[in-house]
A and B are shown apart, each in its own frame.
Chain A
Amino acid sequence: MNKKSKVVRYNKWGYIFLSPFIVIYLIFQMIPLVTTIYNSFFENYLSGLSKVGPNFIGLQNYVTILTNGDLPTYFSNTMIMWAMGFVPQIVLSLLLGAWFTDPSLRLKCQGFFKTVIYLPNLIMASAFAMLFFTLFSDSGPINSMLMQMGVLSEAYKFMSNVWSVRSLVATMNCLMWFGNTTILLMAGMMGIDPSLFEAAQVDGATATQIFYKITLPLLKPILIYVMITSLIGGLQMFDVPQILTNGTGDPMRSSMTLIMYLNKHLYSKNFGMSGALSVYLFIITGILSLIVYRFTAREEK
């Protein structure tokens, strides 16, 4: 009866080693994802202390979000503020990355500078936003400095102008993330075979030519990665504008992002509406990532 095979099977170890990931993925990713979609078909919220629902209402929540016309506004707010922060950020990071990895420059104290540019990322976003809020308030230090220097005759209301609020948000995001991006890009640049640079130098290429013809093309996979992660991070922009505008997204919600809008529905624990909104966000993020991926990876074929 003993039919034990003589061959030692290692298959089970594969499953055992995989299981922690599967379990964690199921609990923290899959179940929330499915329940979010499930919840989005119900009317389910608290009015005061009394619960309304859950009543199945089909696609009603989706229709409400589409018809009230807020989604495109908040989406474009988010994208504008993301782009305003991302463009300077990537330029700055490329420049710094190129300098740091260029052996001919022989930069001193590299470790120190790399640490310093990464530091803003260590501050909590909310603390950072709080700091900016205080700095740029009507009677804050920036205004009083500008007034003493005679640049302004009366306090400029930074928090009440569309573009000043958006610029502040973009500046903060740029400051917080350029260090992180620089380090990623540097890793990519250092992965490029140095012999290519040497060959180019021997052939008489200038530093600019080397950057555009060698560094950038070979950096593409990392650039795509940075683009996509930053885009997804940008779509989820929340804490900086939330704290800076005290949750209002003012003036007239011109700095309200998609997640801030989502947060508005959580006041009444409106799981139906926020579920539907999350599903929309999921779809938007998916489409955008796909576009970026297609657009940047097309030529490889």
Chain B
Amino acid sequence: MKRRLVSLLAIATMTTTMFAGCGGASDSSDATEEKTPATTEEIDAEAAAVELPEDTGKVLNIHCWNDEFKSRMKDHYPGYEEVDATHGKIGDVEVVWTMTPSTDNAYQNNLDDALLKQADVSDDEKVDLFLVEADYALKYVDEDVTLALSDLGITSDQLSDQYKYTQSIVTDSTGKLKGSSWQACSAGLIYNREAAKEVLGTDDPEQVQAAVADWDKYNETAKKIADAGYTMCSAMDTYRVYSNNVSGPWVQDGKIVIDPNIDKWIDDSKALVDAKIEDTDDLWSDDWGKGKNPEGKVFCYFGPAWFFNFCLNADDPASIASKGGWGYCVGPQSYYWGGTWLCAATGTDNANLVKDIILTMTTDQKVLKEIAMQDQDCVNSKTVLADLAGSDDGNIALLGGQNPYKQLADGAEKVDLSNLSKYDQGCTEELEKAMKNYFLGNATKEEAIDAFKKAVTEKYPDVKAE
């Protein structure tokens, strides 16, 4: 009797959410009522009760910011055929890729427009699947525009091999999971082996790790590195290591709060920049990238697994990476950087296909192993990472044959994302810009913090500086 009640309840809530989805512009009052997070069992019960309607869509619209996911689909999703740069085919469904670069927020602006219009456009124009990054995931997760995975009939045991943090990012306030990722982007310190040998006398990851195990040791080592004529890294590189280990979110009660660990980043970095140990190059700028070649004389970068392949220019014969000259260790604190989550858009007319793509690309261990081997992604599967850590399959040439998967897997377990907020992207960008002024001596710390707060309140008018 009781079980029947539960399933009835589950069906009832399901149908209301489904109607909310179909109606699009319907009143959101019922969404605000259910504030208390549901337990996993309740959500699973809902998910098990879901019967997806037959797919009617002939077009699958995917929104993304680069061709990374497209190439993953092409290489690993069974039955996907590429037609041209922005079109593909799965069976008789046409796949349309809408790629908008992230620069200047263009991707989100475009996606926002598309999602807000979702209810008014024809079925073939509706967004079915879209990709988000961690920095702004919450912006989409906490809204009705994103379909909960349980509404697609995906249960928690299907996702149990994923790392906890990859799920906590995309869990909404009612406890429902709204997205899934194939990557676990725990990150660490990627050091120049040549420089490590010269200064520390060893390039063994364990011993280098010992030299940078916490911030005090890191600062000490950095000084030695600088004395040998190297730049440690850019202050912007270390930012995420600090900002992932904060004790509270950026915005609390509508006000900006600067966490003690962020404050520590500001003070530590200022000292290092003043001593000419670190520089202040913006990430991705040419000046920042100079350390990828030996003449750049940069000791380390901070980055996750995608950094190896995507950012170290291994194809360039003059680069350090092409000679296997990098090493990887966890660094002063565990953190993560980046990663891509797949989200189903409310109103999709290809729910079964969307569900299958999400399950295949983010939970199928065979596919994930392929991705890890072929693309050197650190995949979101505890089993696959443990597998790679224990075999030579996980050795990476540009790290001089080092197998970083044990560290990556350990790091992914430690990442804690409970302090993420939907303001993170803006706060990160503006803090880095404002503090650069302080580091370079163009402003005092107070002035720089004021400038940061001003910039954030401009971006988010609902946030107050004080």
- Using a CB–CB distance below 8 Å, which chain A residues touch chain B? 45-50, 52, 68, 70, 134, 137-140, 157, 160-162, 246-248, 250-253, 264-265, 267-268, 270, 273
Contacts and interface: CB of A to CB of B under 8 A. Distances in A.
Given A48-B143, A134-B286, A139-B286, A252 B433 contact: no
Contact of B116 (A49, A68, A246): A49
A194 to B, nearest CB: 53
Given A251-B440, A267-B459, A49 B139 contact: yes
A247 B461 CA distance: 18
B461 A252 contact: no
5 contacts: A45-B461, A160-B440, A250-B442, A268-B458, A268-B459
A52 B287 contact: no
Contacts of A45: 461-462
A47 B460 contact: yes
Interface of B: 104-105, 112, 115-116, 138-140, 142-143, 145, 281-282, 285-287, 290, 422, 426, 433, 436-437, 440, 442-443, 447-448, 451, 454-455, 458-462
B458 A49 contact: no
Contacts of A52: 461-462
B451 A139 contact: no
A251 B437 contact: yes
B286 A252 contact: no
A267 B457 CA distance: 11
Contacts of A248: 433
Contacts of B290: 139
A134 B440 CA distance: 20
B286 A160 contact: no
B433 A250 contact: yes
Q: Is the interface of B mostly helix, strand, loop or mixed?
A: helix
Contacts of B116: 49
B451 A49 contact: no
A267 B455 CA distance: 11
Specify which of B142, B281, B440, B448 lies most central, judged by the most chain A CB atoms within 10 Å of its CB.
Answer: B440
B112 A252 contact: no
B286 A273 contact: no
Contacts of A157: 440
Contacts of A268: 458-461
Given A48-B422, A251-B440, A252-B447, A246 B460 contact: no
B162 to A, nearest CB: 25
The 6 A-B pairs with the shortest beta carbon distances in the complex, nearest first, are A251-B442, A48-B139, A264-B458, A47-B462, A138-B287, A160-B440
B459 A252 contact: no
A246 to B, nearest CB: 7
Contacts of B138: 48
Specify which of A46, A248, A253 lies most central, judged by the most chain B CB atoms within 10 Å of its CB.
Answer: A248
Given A246-B282, A250-B437, A264-B455, A139 B287 contact: yes
Contacts of A139: 286-287, 290
B398 to A, nearest CB: 23
Given A47-B461, A137-B286, A252-B437, A247 B104 contact: yes
Contacts of A68: 454
Contacts of A273: 461
A265 B458 contact: yes
Specify which of B443, B455, B458 lies most central, judged by the most chain A CB atoms within 10 Å of its CB.
Answer: B458
A172 to B, nearest CB: 19
B438 to A, nearest CB: 9
A265 B433 CA distance: 17
Contact of A267 (B105, B286, B462): B105
B443 A252 contact: yes
A160 B211 CA distance: 33
Contacts of A140: 286
A264 B433 contact: no
Contacts of B459: 264, 267-268
Nearest to B440: A160
Nearest to B280: A160
A156 to B, nearest CB: 12
A251 B434 CA distance: 9
Contacts of A46: 112
